[in-house]
C-alpha cells in the first residue's frame, strides 16, 4: 500500500469523538473536533478516498490544487494523489471519511459513464458542494453506511459496497445535471494561492532542475517564507514535494513504459541513480526494481 502517515497535532485538550472501522475493502471513519487541527502527515496512498464535511469549513489541498470547502461538500481523492486538510475560518469541524480499495464496487459501476472506480475518481477528483434535496439524500446514504458498519448488521460488507456505489452514482448524476457546485480553486488566502502556483509549477516542470532557492526567486518571495507556507499547507517541504512528485512520475513510467531504471530516473529529473533509488524507497517502501516487478505481477494475475 502506498501510504505515508504522521500523527495528529492538537493545540487544545478537548476530547475527539472518533471511530474508524474497516469492513472488507472499505474503511469508514467519523471525527468531530472542537480544537485547531491540520493534517500534519505527508499523505498519499493507494486507496480512493471520499471525504464529506458535515460541519465547519476547511481548506483541502489535492496535488497542486487548493479548495475552500464549506459544510455539505463531498471531496473525491484519486489513489496516489497527495492531499491534506487544514483549518478554515473556525477550528471546529465534523467529517466522514471513506477509503476504498478497487474491488467489487468497480463492478457495480459497469455500464455507467465512468465504468469503474478508476474512471470515476480520475474524472471527478476535486470538491462538490451540495444543497437542498441532494444534500439530504447524500447524508441519508452516509448515515446508512455508518449504521451498517457500526451495528455490524448481517451481510454488512455487501450492503456497504452497494451504498458506496449508490453514493458515487448519485454524485455522478449531480455533476452531469450541474445541480451541485464544483468548488473553484479560487477564493483563498494569498498564501494558499502562492502555494498552489508553486505546486502547479513543480508538477508541470518535474523533469527540469529546481530547488527551493530557484523557486523562491521565480515567485518573488523569500525562501524562508516559501518554505514555511508550503510546509503548513501541503505537509511537505518544497524539496520533499519535488521528490515525491518525481517519484510518482517515475512510478507511472515504471508501470507503463519499458524503459531501463536509469532512463526512468533521468526522465524524472534525477542526475544520480543512487539518489533516485533512495528517494523511491523512502516514499514507496520499494526499490524501483521491486516496484516494477510487483506491478507486473499484478497485471499478469488472472482470477480463477
Q: Which long-range contacts (CB under 8 A, 24 or more apart) does 146-155 make?
A: 146/28, 146/30, 146/96, 148/23, 149/21, 149/23, 149/26, 149/28, 150/19, 150/21
pLDDT tens for 35-75 read 666 554 546 677 899 999 999 999 898 988 888 899 999 99
The 10s digit of each residue's pLDDT in 4-16 is: 333 344 443 344 4
The answer to whether residues 66 and 116 touch, using CB atoms and an 8 Å cutoff, is: no
Q: Contact, 195 vs 229, CB < 8 A?
A: yes
- Range among 58-62, 79-83, 111-115, 155-159 with highest mean pLDDT value: 155-159
Percent of the chain with pLDDT over 70: 85
Calpha distance 78→80 (Å, rounded): 6
Give the helix ranges, DSSP H, for the chain: 104-108, 117-124, 132-151, 156-177, 190-204, 212-218, 223-234, 238-256, 261-267, 273-284, 288-300
3-class DSSP state of 219: coil
The reply to whether the predicted model has a pTM over 0.85 is no
C-alpha cell at 289: 526494481
Let me know: does 107 contact 167? Beta carbons within 8 Å: no
Amino acid at each position: 500500500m502506498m501510504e505515508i502517515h504522521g500523527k495528529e497535532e492538537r493545540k487544545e485538550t478537548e476530547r475527539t469523538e472518533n471511530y474508524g472501522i474497516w469492513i472488507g475493502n472499505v474503511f469508514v471513519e467519523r471525527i468531530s473536533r472542537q480544537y485547531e487541527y491540520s493534517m500534519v502527515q505527508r499523505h498519499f496512498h493507494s486507496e480512493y478516498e471520499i471525504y464529506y464535511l458535515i460541519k465547519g469549513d476547511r481548506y483541502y489541498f489535492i496535488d497542486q490544487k487548493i479548495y475552500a470547502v464549506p459544510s455539505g461538500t463531498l471531496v473525491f481523492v484519486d489513489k496516489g494523489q497527495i492531499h491534506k486538510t487544514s483549518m478554515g475560518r473556525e477550528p471546529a469541524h465534523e467529517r466522514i471519511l471513506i477509503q476504498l480499495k478497487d474491488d467489487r464496487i468497480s463492478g457495480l459501476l459497469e455500464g455507467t459513464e465512468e465504468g469503474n472506480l478508476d474512471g470515476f475518481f480520475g474524472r471527478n477528483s476535486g470538491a462538490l458542494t451540495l444543497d437542498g434535496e441532494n444534500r439530504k439524500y447524500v447524508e441519508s446514504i452516509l448515515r446508512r453506511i455508518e449504521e451498517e458498519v457500526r451495528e455490524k448488521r448481517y451481510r454488512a460488507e455487501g450492503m456497504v459496497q452497494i451504498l458506496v456505489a449508490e453514493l458515487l452514482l448519485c454524485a455522478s448524476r449531480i455533476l452531469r445535471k450541474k445541480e451541485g457546485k464544483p468548488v473553484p480553486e479560487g477564493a483563498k488566502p494569498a498564501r494558499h494561492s502562492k502555494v498552489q502556483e508553486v505546486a502547479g509549477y513543480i508538477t508541470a516542470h518535474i523533469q527540469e532542475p529546481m530547488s527551493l532557492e530557484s523557486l523562491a526567486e521565480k515567485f518573488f518571495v523569500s525562501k524562508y517564507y516559501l518554505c514555511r507556507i508550503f510546509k503548513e499547507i501541503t505537509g511537505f517541504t518544497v524539496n520533499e514535494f519535488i521528490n515525491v512528485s518525481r517519484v510518482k512520475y517515475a512510478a507511472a513510467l515504471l508501470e507503463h513504459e519499458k524503459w531501463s531504471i536509469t532512463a526512468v530516473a533521468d526522465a524524472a529529473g534525477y542526475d544520480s541513480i543512487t539518489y533516485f533509488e533512495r528517494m523511491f524507497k523512502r516514499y514507496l517502501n520499494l526499490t524501483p526494481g521491486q516496484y516494477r516487478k510487483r506491478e507486473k505481477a499484478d497485471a499478469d494475475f488472472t482470477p480463477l
